[in-house]
Structure formats: C-alpha cells, structure tokens
Structure 1
Amino acid sequence: MGFLSILPPFIAVALAFLTRNTILSLAVACIIGVFLNGGGLLGFPDLLKEALGNEDFAWIFLLELFIGILIAFFQRTGAIESVASIAERRQLSKRKVEISAWFMGMFVFFSDSFSPVFVGTTMRKITDRVRISREKLAYICDSTSAPMAVIVPFTGWAVFIAGLLMGMGPIHGEVEAMAVFTKSIPFNFYAIFSILLVGLIAMGWIKDFGPMRKAEERAEKEGKVIRDGSSPLVSKELTNIQPYYEDRILSVWVNFLLPVIVIISIAMGSYFFMGTTKTMEAFLAAIVVLGIAMRLQGIPTSDIMDTAINGIKGIMPAVMILIFAYTINTLSEQMGTAEYLIGATEAWLSPSLLPALTFILAALISFSTGSSWGTYGIMIPIAVPVAFGFADGDITTLVLATIAAVAGGGVFGDHCSPLSDTTILASTGAAVDHIDHVRTQIPYCLLVGLIGLIIYVALGFYL
C-alpha cells in the first residue's frame, strides 16, 4: 500500500507521545489502519482475531500472566522487602545500586523476556530507597536485556539468526552458521555500545542528559521516583500488595532465591539440552514451587489464590498494550510496511553503504513493528545475500558487518519503539509509565545508534 502502510505505526507512536496514553493511542491507530486497509469498522474484530489467535501471542500473554503472579507472590511473602533490607544494611550508595542493576542485567543474559522483569522487580525497592527514578531503572533493564541476548553466541537470539543464515553463500549447516554469527558479534556496535553506555552512566563517568536528567533530578530533590500524573505499567493491585506476616520476615532463600534458581535452571537447562529456552515453563514452575512454599509457611490457600488474582489484575495494563502492539504488527504485515521501506531504499545499496543502510532499514522496520525477530526474518534473507553478492560468495568483513548491522539495527528500533514487547516488559519490571520510559531512553539510544551508524559508514568506505 506504499506510503499508507507506514501510517498506522507512526500514528500510534505520535499519539502516544502527545497523549501519554499508550493503550488509547494504539487502539486509535489500529482502527485508522483498518479503514486504510479497506476493512471498515467491522474489520477490526477480524484483525484482532488474526493478530491474537496464534501461538506467538498466546506465549507472551501467558508469560505476562505468570510474571504478574510471581511478582505478587514475591511481595506477599515479603521477598522483595527482604532483598531491599539486605541491600539497605550494606548501605549501598546510589552509584553502587546502579552498577549492581547493570551487572544483574548482564548476568541474566539467556532471556530478554526474563531479564528486564527480574532486574526491575528485584531492584525496584532498592532503587526507590536511594532515589533513583523508575525511568532510570527501566533504561538499565531494557538496555542490558536484548543487547546482551544478541551478542552472546548461545542464546535463543543467536540460534534464530544463525538459522536464518543457513543456505546463504558458503553457509550450509548449523555449525557454519553459528560460526559466522559469532564472527559478526564484534561488528554489532549498537548492542556493545548500549551495554557500555549503561555502565559508564552507572559509574558516573557519563552524566545523565535529556529527559532522563530531569527524571533523576525529580527523584533526587523531590523524592518522586515516578512523575506526578503518570500511569505505571503495573497497577496498584500489584504494587500495593503487603507481606502476609507483618511481625516477622520469611526466609529470603525460600521465597526469592529458590524460585529464581528454578527459573534459571529450567531456562538454561532447556536451552543446553533441548536447544530452546523454555521461559514460560520456567516461570510456571517457579509459581508452583513458591505457591507450595507459601502454603507450608502458613499462608492460607485462599490468600494465595487472591494474591495470584491480584497479580493477574496488576499486569493487565501491560497485557493491553501487548494486545494492540501485536495488532499493529499484523496490520503492518497486511499493508506491506516492511516491503515499502525495503523498496524505498534498495536503489541506494552499494558495497560501501550496505552496512549503514542495512542498519537504518532494520531500525525503521523494528521501530514500526516493535519486533526485532520479525525484522531479522525480513532483513537477513534480503541483505545478507546482497552482501555475499558484493563479496563474490566469500565470508568477508562486509558480510559480517551486514549481519551485525541487521542484528544491531533490530535492537535499536526495538529500544525506541513503544510497540516493543521487551520495552513493555522493562516498563513492567520497573513499574513506570511506559511512555516515560521510552521518552527518557530514546536520547541514549539515538546517541549509541548514531555512533554505530558513523562506524558502519566509515567501515563501508574502508572496505
């Protein structure tokens, strides 16, 4: 549909920043898109059925519900309070807390879905006490999850990208594809520099700037970790849950570390032994384990069930955004958004500009659809064969840089997009207004993206 195909996602983003109401903005954009696509008002339910009636949405929907329940259990047992009190006894400074969150985000590299929620939920009470804004916490969570997942050669991201590379040029099997992906990692400038920037800011070597600076000044001077009038992506049903026992502290080992060990063990074990990360199953197992532990510690079954229901209620704002984000994504597929962007730029492709243009195009597609993996599925089959053509079928630096540019560009657009599921999860973990998170993170993403683009341009002319 040409230029019209990019209107729905950009209307959604523009309205979200103007109104600061993400759900309303996405709903309006979806309805406008249905009319542009010729479906009329009656086409909207059909679009919802197509977008949501699939395994991908069912997976992220159930994962969100399980995350809400687990967070509620953590709060009802006092696990989060216990972790925060341990940190308080150690008298961690604001800088040390930020560095701890940075290291934690890098450590939980195996799942971009688990990492932002785990880091945000674990560190939120601690960052609140040392007056770190929720926007800053969400940024740390977001910029250490997907960037780490895409540069570690044994994650689901690595397997997915390597799978797309098989059959291209001299890449015939899984071993060769993974070896090529691993060689491309040093050229993924956006992901590497994103992680480094978080560390430099956490250590105070680079000062906060833009909207993030204002958010940090508000938290420091006024003690307001979220903006007045904001709508945190986790509702009060979840954030206001109090520990069941007010007069005693339950074991942090049983109520926090045990469920976390269950999640990590199942997620990483399933990856190494089955070749796929069973994140949703890991969260479900942790819920069962913690639910049993709560009952054994004297918490009534009725209270455990009420806590689970409150967890589901509390996570619904994030679920609503995910529903409309998936709907926008499906609408973009129907209208040919990616095809239009590719067609508008393919005439410019040349060996010297290929990595840079690939990075920009991947970022635009990811920004418009909110999906890094969807971007990889579109861009790798197009850009990598072109790179092999320029390289006469050899695995050259141009080919490696192009693969890395697609990988990094997908994360770049994902970080800037309110439609991204990982960005939504970061807002959920930090319990911050979703648009406040995106608005404060974008200047940092643009800085890193610009640095990466300049290097790709210089590298292209060098090649």
Structure 2
Amino acid sequence: MTDPVVHYGFLSILPALIAVALAFITREATFSLLFACIVGLFITGDGLWGVPGLFEKAMGNVDFIWVLLIEVFIGILVAFFQKTGATQEFAKIMETKITSRKKIQLFGWLLGMFIFFSDYFSPLFTGPVMRNLTDKAKISREKLAYIIDSTSAPMCVLVPFSAWGIYIAGLLVGYGPIKDNTMAVNVFFKSVGFNFYAIFAVVMVALFALKIIPEFGPMRKAEERALKEGKLFADGAIPMMGVELSDIKPAEQIKKPRIFVNFILPVLVVITFALGTYIVLGSAKTLEAFMLAVLVLGIALWMQKIPMKEIFSTGIQGIKGIIPAIIILGLAYSINTISKQLGSAQYIIEVTENWLTPALLPALVFFLSAFISFSTGTSWGTYAIMIPIAAPLAFQFSGGEITTLVFATVGAVAGGGVFGDHCSPLSDTTILSSFGAASDHIDHVKTQLPYASVAAGLGLVLYLIIGMF
C-alpha cells in the first residue's frame, strides 16, 4: 500500500460517506463497507491489488484480534447459556419481579450503566442477559440495541476514573497550565458537566422508558410492530447473531436448570474479574474475564453429565453464530484504516479551522469531533486528533487560564467523539450493540440515529449559549 499523505481533498471523506449512504440505501452493511474500502483503495492508487494489504493492516494487529477474541468467547458463553436453559429460566424468574415493559427497559438501563468500566463489555453482557426479558415483553430488538448502546460509550466517557477519562486526561497534559496527570484529571472531571451529548444520551433512555418522552421516528414504528404484531424484527432484517447460536436447544441431560451454577455464577465471574482487575490494575481484563467464565461454565456442563463432545460442539456453534458480527467488524476496521490513510480527519479540520472564534469554539469543536467520529467510527482516534487542536485554542482564548471555556471545550471534544461511537454504522461499539441485542445492524443505526441527533442538537445549542457568555 502507498504511504499516507496529509489528505486527498474531498476524496478523503468519500469512502466513509459511501459506506454510510450505501448502508442506509441497501440495508446491507457488509456490501456497503467492502465497496467503500475498494473505492478508497482506488483513490490511493492501490486498486483491487491493495485489498490483501488493507485487510492485513486493519485486522492483523493486536487491537482487532483482541476484539475478535472477546466476541469469540462471548459467542461460546452465550451458547453454553442456551445449552443449560439458564437464560430462559432467568427470564422466567425476572418476569415475576419485573412485570412491565417500562420496568424491563429501566432494568436494562440500570444494568448498562452499572458496567461503566468497558464500552465493549457493557453491550456484550447486557444484551444477552436482557434479550429473553425484552422478547417476552414484546420490546423490539432495535429498542434493546438502543438501550445497551446508549449506556455503553456515553456512560464510560462520563466517569472520570474510567479508561476513557484517563485517556482524555493524558492527552491534555502539557497544554496551558496543565503540567501533570493530576491536574489533567481534575480538568476532565470538571468538564464532565459540559459533556452534554453523553448526559442527554444516557438520560433519554430512562425518559423514553418512563414515557416522559414519546417514541418517535423509526423507533416508534419498530416498537408498534413488536407490540401489536409480535415481530421483534422488521421484515427482511438480518440479525447480527447467526442461527447456529440462537437455535441452540437446552441439553436433555439438564432436567431442571440450575440458575445459580449455570447463569449467576458465570455472570459473577465476569463482573468480579473485570471490575476487580479494573480497580486493582487500572484496566479491566475483559477478554480474560470472559475466558474464565467460559471455563467455569464448561466445567459445570461437564459435571452435569453433558458429554465433552457435546460441550465442544456447542462451543463451535457459538463461534459460528458470531461470524456475521466478525465480518462487519473487520470491514469497519478496514474502512477506518483507509480513512486514516486518506487523511479524512485532517481534511475536515482544514476546511473548518478558519471559522473558529471564542464564541463558536465549543460548538464548532463539538461539531467537528462528532463529524470525524461518525465518519471514522472511532472516538479515541477523534480525541487524539482533536485535543491537540482544541486545547491550545481554548487556552489561547482564555488567556492561558483554566476557565469555563476550557471545561466546555474539553467536554465538547469528549461528547462529540462519543457521538460516532454511539451511532455510526462504522463504529465497533455500535456493531457490538447490534450483536449483543441480536438486532439487524442497519435497523439499529436507523432507529437510534434520530434519538442521538436530538441529544447532539441539544448539546450544540447549549455550546452556542455558553459561547455567548
């Protein structure tokens, strides 16, 4: 592949725009992403011959392999849950305690917020736990995907001591009077109140569940379809979870599901290990947590007289079931890679940087961060690009002092960056939310985007108001 340049002008953002537009038009995410990648390769001059190199660069690295392995072990764990019949039994028990659609949605909201330490762990855990409950309550898969997506990345970026907070704080060190990590964390902490998008995204889930805000747009149609017709999916929808995983029947050897051993214990293993390593080591060992849970539940299956051959066969079915998600995730990583090579973020910044004024700084920084993250599907990449631009400008306009303008600007970058992670069809956490809910990916994006846009619009208005004072 050719070496990257600063940018290719408008062509720099063309592949991402094509991917998003085609995904909405065709409702076929795999084709849309693959076609956009090929267009990007022709722009760089690599053409079709560049496909192997692109895939190697995008997927032959530690980051992608880590996410892939998490999905693999999630697939195995869900398959084991299906084999024991434990998730169905858990749903029956919870039905007696959570008796309405409103309470079920609020339970999913609270569960998602509880897993604040990992935007990957949150949707992959909350989705499978909630799915049987929401299905029986006739809550659409699109709504479930929205609930778990809105409580993953938006929640993570609001917690100052999460990996997100530490990362953003680390990027702030060296700008203005921020001399060390302690000062940077303090600045980020005070900026959380100005992260309007993330706050609105999380709060809106509860407001919709309580019917304080009525459903609207495509989500309203999805909910009416599920409630009145009993259709959890739209006609023609392709769930991100393969039938190999969703069609697994409970083992004949297990006459009565042991809810503690077959469900609660593995869940406690995952939460305790992930949260424990986060507290002790400062980094949640999400992959290792799921690996340990798979081992524990595999041993439990064997002790309940399930033949080893059947256990391994069930695990293989689980891996097959996550293949649709893996394919889309791999292509999303590929389009992100080609966007970096084309310099899409640099082009967007160059086009808009001349508009910056103190009054417009928070609003424009939010808009830029949101556009970059939506186009590339990466929030952390957006932070790495935008903090070195936004922070010096904020301090320049504030006379080198840490003022409200600085807090608002940092909050705007944080919120704008999470916008793409929340609703871009190219985002890994959006894909994982579709997988966790076993929802059609494009239907998830189409139903969630209007809600996310409302949160973004409200945030933009508040940033404009702040800029006036």
- Give the one of 159, 172, 185 matched to 1:178: 185
Deviations 1:134-179 (A, max 9, x none): 0000000000111110001121111111111112211122211111
**Counterparts of 1:304 and 1:368, CA distance in 2:** 42
- The 5 Å alignment of 1:159-308 reads 159-245=166-252, 248-308=255-315
Secondary structure of the equivalent of 2:306? coil
Tell whether the 8 Å contact from 1:363 to 1:414 is kept in structure 2 after alignment. no
1:289-334, Cα deviation, whole Å (9 max, x unpaired): 1111111122111111111111110001010011110110110111
1:26 equivalent to 2:33? Answer yes
| Residue 365 (structure 2) aligned to one of 358, 366, 377 | 358
Q: Which residue of 2 aligns with 1:425?
A: 432
Superposition map of 1:274-423 within 5 A: 274-423=281-430
Q: Which whole-Å CA distance do the structure 1 matches of 2:197 and 2:138 have between them? A: 29
- State yes or no: 1:57 paired with 2:52: no
Contact 1:69 1:287 in 2 (8 A): yes
Q: 1:89 to 1:246 in 2, by over 3 A?
A: farther
Contact 1:359/1:408, CA 8 A, preserved across alignment: yes
Which position in structure 1 is the counterpart of 2:50? 43
What amino acid does structure 2 have at the position aligned with 1:40?
A: G
Partner of 2:47, secondary structure, is coil
User: SS of the residue aligned with 2:322?
Assistant: helix
Instruction: Indicate the SS of the match to 2:179.
Output: coil
The reply on whether 1:455 has 2:462 as its aligned counterpart is yes
1:147 corresponds to: 154
- Deviating beyond 4 angstroms after TM superposition, the runs of 4 or more aligned structure 1 residues are none
* Structure 1 range deviating more: 344-353 or 82-91: 82-91
2:154–2:422 CA contact under 8 A, matched in 1: no
Deviation at 1:413, TM superposition (A): 2.3
Superposed CA deviations along residues 94-153 of structure 1, whole A, max 9, x for unmatched, are: 111111111111111111111112111111111111111000000000001111100011
Gap runs ≥5 in structure 1: none
Select between 173-182 and 239-248 the one with higher mean Cα deviation.
239-248
**CA-CA distance at 1:224 after TM superposition:** 0.4
Do 2:253 and 2:304's aligned partners in 1 also have CA atoms closer than 8 Å? Answer: no
CA distance, structure 2, for counterparts of residue 36 and residue 265 of structure 1: 48
User: Structure 1 residue 250: deviation in Å?
Assistant: 2.1
Aligned-residue offset at 1:245: 3.4
Tell me the distance in 2 between the aligned counterparts of 1:276 and 1:167. Answer: 24
Whether the aligned pair in 2 keeps the contact of 1:82 and 1:249 (CA below 8 Å) is no
Aligned partner of 1:73 in structure 2 is: 80
Deviation at 1:247, TM superposition (A): 6.4
Matched residue of 1:395: which SS? Answer: coil
Alignment CA distance shift 1:246-1:222 (3 Å): farther
The Cα shift of 1:209 comes to: 0.2
- Conserved in 1, the CA contact under 8 Å of 2:153 and 2:421? no
Aligned residues: CA RMSD:
1.1
Q: Deviations over 1:223-255 (max 9, x none)?
A: 001112110000100111111137622221112
Q: Matched residue pairs, number?
A: 462
How far apart in 1 are the matches of 2:279 and 2:102?
A: 35
1:42 alignment partner, SS class: helix
How far apart, CA to CA, are the structure 1 residues paired with 2:299 and 2:209?
38
2:131 paired residue among 117, 124, 127: 124
**TM-score of the aligned structures, taking structure 1 as reference length:** 0.98
Scaled by the length of structure 2, the TM-score of the pair is 0.97
